[in-house]
Amino acid sequence: MNKNKWMFLAVGGAAIVTVLVTALLVNIFERKSEEKNPFYRVVEITDDIDDPAIWGKNFPHQYDSYLKTTDMTRTKYGGSEAFPHIPTDKDPRDVVSAQKLDEDPRLKTMWAGYAFSKDFREERGHAYMLVDQIFTERQNVVKQPGTCLNCHASTYLLYKKLGDGDITKGFEEMGKIPYKDIVHSVQHPVSCIDCHDPSTMSLRITRPAFMEGIKLVKAQQGIKEYDVNKMASRQEMRSFVCGQCHVEYFFKGEEKRLTYPWGKGLKADQIMEYYKENGFKDWVHALTGAEVLKAQHPEFEMFNQGTHARAGVACVDCHMPYQRVGAMKVTDHQVRSPLLNINKACQTCHNVPEAELKARVETIQDRHISLRDVAFDALVDYINDLKEFKDEKNPSENLLKARALQKEAQFLFDFVEAENSSGFHAPQEAARILGLSIEKVREGQKLVASLRAKKVAGK
């Protein structure tokens, strides 16, 4: 080969290498630019836009995953399956989730006389939180207050409208209006604006009930005048935004003000003490005449008693884990069970095979359900015992005590039953609460035995 040909090959090779290196550098630059600029402002988003589709123009990856909350996939003990439903004028849904009252009739006994004994389906994803609330049979059984929308719709703009810009005033006004009169004022289930500040995209709290509740909790920790939107750390906010709704609550007073009962702490028995002190009841049990309570969905309270919270893990870390899209790190907005996304939800921290992690979780849940069934059978037996004394016109002191014990046992059991993790969030705490419930039943059955003996002796 002559000298000119070698030179031609060398120049050509150098040119190719230069092109490849340049392409690589351009790619790296573009990826770094993507990382530096996590979104491109396609539309201007203000504090008055609650349509997630508009936010999605600037955040397409987050919006795409948000839309996937329509997926209906179950795990061994949770999640939801799609069951066909024949649409009617009263309920136009063509798909619903499983009716839990049919799966476990003990629920009907526990909630006898309350709307939940008429309809209680498996919870579905956030996409269904509004429509399922509108068409549940519970809406036809009792007159619900507008307060219910706090956790079933994007209400931030409604708060601003009803309160002339003051969300706390608007939140209070909404609670005074019957649900069926105010539900048409909202359009979306939980939306971007409920958790994000549109000017900075930072997480924020928009539910006044949580602002007030977490202030009580922080005061117990010695932190005075806690303002969650100014004083919470970023990692705290990654749980607090979920805790705005996934909590125990009650409607206070005639104005039905949404209140989180955290004045004595977040644990079930501390909340029970709060209710006892305030004399609050949800309804009178149809089978026993006892004044009782319905626990809601205290995921935030139970999570805070578990090892993950102790380790500084946030709700979002497991239920909305980061995912890589190109060079960007994006939060997955398909909020779901970590068991459906073990790779990103669990293996980021746990260097353990996926099958092993799944087996560990299901072992905890299997044991929890076993103990839950023991406690549930005990509670139902106790309710059936108390039925004998329902029509006592002048209840004795012991009968009143027995009914009070039903209230405590039932709330403690329901607190664990209503919490969506099948015991996983805090297995030892769940077992402790179920043990307390069983203990209340045992104390009550002693009283029932004495009442029965006195009744027989009287005859």
Per-residue pLDDT of the chain (459 residues; tens, 9 = 90+): 566 777 777 777 777 877 777 777 766 666 555 555 556 788 999 999 999 999 999 999 999 999 999 999 999 998 788 899 999 988 999 999 999 999 999 999 999 999 999 999 999 999 999 999 999 999 999 999 999 999 999 999 999 999 999 999 999 999 999 999 999 999 999 999 999 999 999 999 999 999 999 999 999 999 999 999 999 999 999 999 999 999 999 999 999 999 999 999 999 999 999 999 999 999 999 999 999 999 999 999 999 999 999 999 999 999 999 998 888 899 999 999 999 999 999 999 999 999 999 999 999 999 999 999 999 999 999 999 999 999 998 999 999 999 999 999 999 999 999 999 999 999 999 999 999 999 999 999 999 999 999 988 876
For residue 11, the model assigns a pLDDT of 75
**What are the tens digits of pLDDT across the range 34-63?**
555 556 788 999 999 999 999 999 999 999
Cα dist. 369→102, 117, 268, 365, 423 in Å?
A: 17, 21, 18, 6, 8
For residue 79, the model assigns a pLDDT of 79
In the chain, count H helices and then E strands. 21, 8
**392-423 exposure pattern, b = at least 16 Cβ within 10 A, e = fewer:** eeebeeebeebbbbbbbbbbbbbbbbbbbbbb
Beta carbons of 379 and 410 less than 8 angstroms apart: yes
For residue 31, the model assigns a pLDDT of 57
Cα dist. 205→111, 210, 213, 228, 320 in Å?
A: 32, 8, 12, 7, 17
Count the Cβ atoms, other than its own, within 10 Å of residue 82: 16
SS3 at position 183: helix
What is 45-245+314-336's CATH number? 1.10.1130.10
Beta carbons of 211 and 174 less than 8 angstroms apart: no
For residue 60, the model assigns a pLDDT of 95
> Which H or E element spans position 323?
strand 322-325
d(CA 424, CA 348): 18
Contacts of 337 (CB under 8 A, 6+ apart): 75, 78, 79, 319
d(CA 51, CA 43): 12
**pTM of this structure:** 0.89
For residue 133, the model assigns a pLDDT of 95
Alpha-carbon dihedral sign for residues 17, 23, 27, 32: positive
Q: Which two tokens stand for residue 220?
A: 């117990």
For residue 22, the model assigns a pLDDT of 75
